[in-house]
Amino acid sequence: MTTEHCESRAAAQLPPIYCPLLPYTHPRAAEIDGTASAWMRSWGIPQDPDTRQRLLRSSCSRLVSNSSPHGRIERLEAGGKWMYLGFAYDDWFESRTSLDEIVAASCALQRAQEAPGSALANVPFLPEFLHVMGELRRFATPTQYLRFTNERRRYFQSLPWEASYRFAGKVPDLNTNVTLRLGVASTTSFLVAMEIFNDDEIPSTEFDHPAVQAIREVAASLLGWVNDLYSLSKDARDAGAVNNFVSCIQQERQCSTEEAGAEAVTMFNRSMLLFVGLRDQLARQGSPPLRKFLDGCGRAITSALTWHADIPRYTTHALPFTTNRPAGLNSSPLDIPSISWWWQQLE
């Protein structure tokens, strides 16, 4: 049996994912995706027609629209373009074989993010990137764009870090992986961008509070872990499994793929329980923009679960999930030093 078949079977046998949050479909999701996908076609992204068609079939802009029910349509369309471009870049970076090339491209894109009117180097898709960043900057307040740029910096810094493991054929330890995934999955920047989509700005006294930082990271990690669980087969096929958190668990625990997958789901479920507790705690006295953001984080997680189950990009079978809290689910902090501080924010 091939590695890919083993990974697919292991994914299909995972225990249910705990998600008590209600799914949501934006009533204009198809229209928004039509605008974003037409833009992709007009710019010829990616250049390979087969890769482009596979990406277009994903309707990935729905991850944006289904997370922001209050978002302004033209902003959601810009967000949809950014989402398509992000997946194209993800494939491009994964196809690189030179760490120097990845460092140069990520630094150039970070500069273009900071100042869309400038560019350091002619990297792939740079005109398209500048176009999208120009739209988002035009919509955003200075504070919103700065927050967004700060989170994108985490992403661009993480790309060469992840590649260094991939090129060496090494699997990072679990403590390293959960921090690395926070950056390279780009999920923290996705969540922060919701402020721009919704034309809402969370007061700095709330946004900068450790409990709000914690829930951003919890939600971002849940999004990244959903992707990892669904990417088991793709990562095995593309030799990217060294940075999949299931592979990290398997290495650290010296266990089977099936056992590592089950533990990964347990990690997800315990973190979901924390997310719900922090969300309720923060919502009780939070400002309207913060409460809208918390709601959007929940919608982003459910949207990711349903979206991944339907996409040919990921060959893993649809994963089971339940709205009921699993019996005996442990509410104590995960024994992972880089994220155990999340639980300290609960009152």
DSSP string covering 207-227, please? Answer: HTSHHHHHHHHHHHHHHHHHH
**What is the count of structural domains for the chain?**
1
Tell me which of 2-6, 18-22, 211-215, 295-299 is least confident.
2-6
- 50-75: average pLDDT: 91
Residue-number span of the structural domain to which 22 is assigned: 3-345
Percent above pLDDT 90 for the chain: 73
Phi, psi (rounded to 5 degrees) for 321: -145, 155
pTM for the structure as a whole: 0.92
Give me the amino acid identity at 165: Y
3-state secondary structure of 17: strand
Asked if 222 and 215 touch (Cβ cutoff 8 Å), the reply is no
What number is the average pLDDT over the span 287-305? 96
The secondary structure of residue 309, as a DSSP letter, is T
Model confidence band, residue 121 (pLDDT cutoffs 50, 70, 90)? confident
pLDDT > 60? residue 8: no
Task: Give strand pairing partners of 321.
Answer: 17
- Summarised one tens digit per residue, pLDDT across range 90-114 is 888 988 999 999 999 999 999 999 9
pLDDT higher than threshold 50 for residue 221? yes
Average pLDDT of the residues in 303-308: 91
Distances (CA, A) of 11 to 142, 162, 256, 265: 43, 23, 12, 10
Per-residue pLDDT for 118 more than 90? no
Name the helix (H) or strand (E) containing 190: helix 187-198
Measure the CA–CA gap between 64 and 299, rounded to whole angstroms: 10
Nearest to 141 by CA among 186, 90, 207: 207
Residue with tokens 């928004």: 32
What CATH number should be reported for the domain holding residue 282?
1.10.600.10
* Mean pLDDT value across the chain: 89
pLDDT at 259: 93
The model's pLDDT over 135-187, given as tens digits with 9 standing for 90+, comes to 999 999 999 999 999 999 999 999 999 999 999 989 999 999 999 999 999 99
pLDDT of 278 over the 70 cut: yes
CA 63 to chain centre: 10
What is the sign of the dihedral through the CA atoms of 103, 109, 115 and 120? positive
Q: How confident is the model at residue 237 (pLDDT cuts 50, 70, 90)?
A: low
Cα–Cα distance measured from residue 109 to residue 157, given in angstroms and rounded to the nearest whole number: 11
- Of 58, 65, 83, 55, the closest CA to residue 24 belongs to 65
The pLDDT of 308-327, averaged and rounded, is: 80
The pLDDT value given to residue 145: 97
Average pLDDT of the residues in 192-208: 97
